[in-house]
Structure 1
């Protein structure tokens, strides 16, 4: 495995890509809500973030199920909430996860390449 930092997943960038940024916003909201209630009620709160990965077909893509579970303390007990969604991601060299592939196969776009037709093409 390469020691190149470009071959590693950038979690800050990835969080913004998951579920079109909604997952990151859910984490931000949950952390703020938990922190506010911890200070208000003097009880412990908890936020659990979980990732499950499963290969899509036989290619180099994975379906990432990302979920959060929050435990928000209240004056008489606690409120528990769980949310989960999936995002398909590309697996690049070294296991780096990206929303879009960073490398693509070169496409030859000569005359008629898009349709396969060469009639009417001038030399």
Structure 2
């Protein structure tokens, strides 16, 4: 099995919303660190659990961050689940390419009319 493409993996979680949340957290925490001279923290956590007897897993993904403020800190965490397939290409949102055709022209259930 190939290693999972990390960028594609994170972009697939929660329809790319998770990647946007991580980016926002990194920017906010970095700004707090620079503005207030105190350390901040961003933590990503992944838990995987098999779905039934299939080649699918539920990826529980958690974003937790601590942003320093003038008089303390601001903490937020968010956690959601995304089902993914385990394939020869690593973790993927779809088992096959979503742009693959389901039927060939000869197998198409509706025959095109000739004009």
TM-score for both structures, normalised by structure 2: 0.82
Q: How many residues align?
A: 104
Partner of residue 8 from structure 2, selected from 13, 17, 20: 13
Name the structure where strand makes up a greater proportion of residues. 2
Judging changes above 3 Å, is the alpha-carbon distance between structure 1 residues 61 and 40 closer, same or farther for their aligned structure 2 residues? same
| Displaced runs of 4 or more, over 4 A | none
Matches within 5 A, 1:1-123: 7-93=2-88, 96-102=90-96
Higher radius of gyration, 1 or 2: 1
The 1-side partners of 2:48 and 2:37 are apart by 36
Q: CA RMSD in A?
A: 2.2
5+ residue gaps, structure 1, are 115-123
TM-score for both structures, normalised by structure 1: 0.77
Local SS of the residue matching 2:39: coil
